[in-house]
Amino acid sequence: MPLKTAKEYIDSLRKLKLNLYLLGEKVTNPVDNPIIRPSTNAVAMTYKLAHEAESADLAATSSMLTGKPVNRFNSLFQSTEDMVKKVKLQRRLAQRTACCFQRCVGMDGINAVFSTTYEIDRKYGTPYHQRFRRWLEYVQENDLCVQGAMTDVKGQRNLAPSQQADPDMFVHIVERKSAGIVIRGAKASQTGTVNSHEMLIMPTLNLRKGDEDYAVSCAVPTDAAGVTLIYGRQSCDTRKLEAGDIDIGNYTFGAHETLTILDNVFVPWERVFMCGEAEFAIMLVERFASYHRQSYGGCKPGIGDVMIGATASLADYNGVRKAAHIRDKIAEMIHLSETLYGCGLACAYEGWQTPAGNFQDNMMLANVCKHNVTRFTYEICRLAEDIAGGILATMPSEKDFRHPVVGKYVDKYLKGVPEVPTEARYRMLSLLHAMTFGQNAISYRTESMHGAGSPMAQKIMIERETDMELKQKLARRLAGIDEREDVTG
């Protein structure tokens, strides 16, 4: 099958029979639901770019398995340049949508499971890697959207999975049958599940002896029996149910998360890629986390481009764009955003080839990238809110702006510079509102803190990946504690 168009992708979602709940009601038509549809449009953009001449080299590539054209989000990284293109694609998509386009977790999971299954098989002679290759060929051939499912609900955080009072706090194997396994549990904060055809289940943390039933990786259709999706609530989400488009801000695009319930889901053996090999869970988790922390060096600068553009526009509309302190703040926003992009590119360029043949990014730099994201995006948002002014949080509704009686007052008193219509300022304020603390804030602010692991997770990896012995040796040599280097020798 050739690469799907955006329309073909959206049409393919209509064939799914999801067991989905939103605001306490079962949803029978997610594609046309006004709250969900913006997130579907964001994923559709990943398909659209694969057919645009100026983006095709980024959005599509050749399969490492078959040599056929595939969407980059379903590809294996065959070089460091592939990982560079991944970051550039993510930035371009974020520039076009100003939100999370929901496919990065699946792409990063595909690459992590590919290399990890190879190493499990090499040690134990298991058939996981070949199973995974066949499943990935199926995904590529049908140009499916894959949702990566890693984050468990975790229960009592200071206890291992096997020590939980309720064993379902981590997804686990409850039965092994001749034809496959049965799994149960839940995955929290799952990005893009409603817009995906397949879920790639992965363990969420390091596992030890006694946790073998929790060492499971497998592929599950999003509409499989036993799967229930509960749509996550977002700030200002019901604005999408109102008439008009100004109050929504980013009217066309959005993102979503689900609480994904796996209630005795049967998985055939050909879709099982890890089953009890607890010592390999940490390899899978760390490789995935590194890929995904790199991803933030692409998408967040792209959203940042839109936020900086909106902030500069509001400064223009307010007549303060040339003020020295405004220019200084906007320059700082640019500096912070481009630093994130530089980190994303750096960990790609410093990548290495795994024994399986695909490429892994530099884990140290990927963690530095994501740790910067947990700080810099918040500062960018603060500066944007500073420059936009308090009206960002207090402006009247679009209904008031359109009202036959009070609308003239809103139009008169919310005007900035004379040459810019009040509606243009209104729309730009609403866009920035959506991105900083409205319905799209999850894509930039909150996700920056907790997505791909909270700050301490990155600090742990940064310390672990540091060659401290080398650094101390360098210092001892220059201090004369160890023998100094003879530059003439």
Please identify every residue annotated as catalytic. Answer: 100, 104, 191, 257, 292, 296, 299, 447
Report how far residue 89's alpha carbon sits from residue 87's, in angstroms, rounded to the nearest whole number.
5
Contacts 24+ apart (CB under 8 A), 150-153: 150/105, 150/109, 150/187, 150/202, 150/203, 150/204, 150/285, 150/288, 151/187, 151/188, 151/189, 151/190, 151/204, 152/185, 152/186, 152/187, 152/188, 152/204, 152/205, 153/185, 153/186, 153/187, 153/188, 153/259
Report how far residue 190's alpha carbon sits from residue 227's, in angstroms, rounded to the nearest whole number.
13
Report how far residue 236's alpha carbon sits from residue 408's, in angstroms, rounded to the nearest whole number.
26
Phi/psi-derived region of residue 250, left when phi > 0, alpha when psi is between -120 and 50, beta in every other case: beta
State the SS3 of 269-323.
HHHEEEECCHHHHHHHHHHHHHHHHHHHHHHHHHHHHHHHHHHHHHHHHHCCCCC
Report how far residue 201's alpha carbon sits from residue 220's, in angstroms, rounded to the nearest whole number.
7
Side chain identity at residue 305, one-letter code: D
Q: Judge whether 251 and 440 are in contact, CB under 8 Å.
A: no
Side chain identity at residue 290, one-letter code: S
Report how far residue 433's alpha carbon sits from residue 438's, in angstroms, rounded to the nearest whole number.
6
Report how far residue 202's alpha carbon sits from residue 105's, in angstroms, rounded to the nearest whole number.
11
Helix (H) or strand (E) holding 258: strand 257-268
| Beta strands in 28-116, from DSSP E residues, in sequence order | 60-62, 69-71
Q: Judge whether 358 and 82 are in contact, CB under 8 Å.
A: no
Torsion from C-alpha of 406, 412, 416, 420, nearest 10 degrees = 100
3-class DSSP state for residue 112? Answer: helix
Residue with tokens 């994130």: 340
Compute CA distances 110 → 71, 92, 104, 288, 324, whole Å. 13, 22, 10, 9, 47
3-class DSSP state for residue 259? Answer: strand
Phi/psi-derived region of residue 438, left when phi > 0, alpha when psi is between -120 and 50, beta in every other case: beta
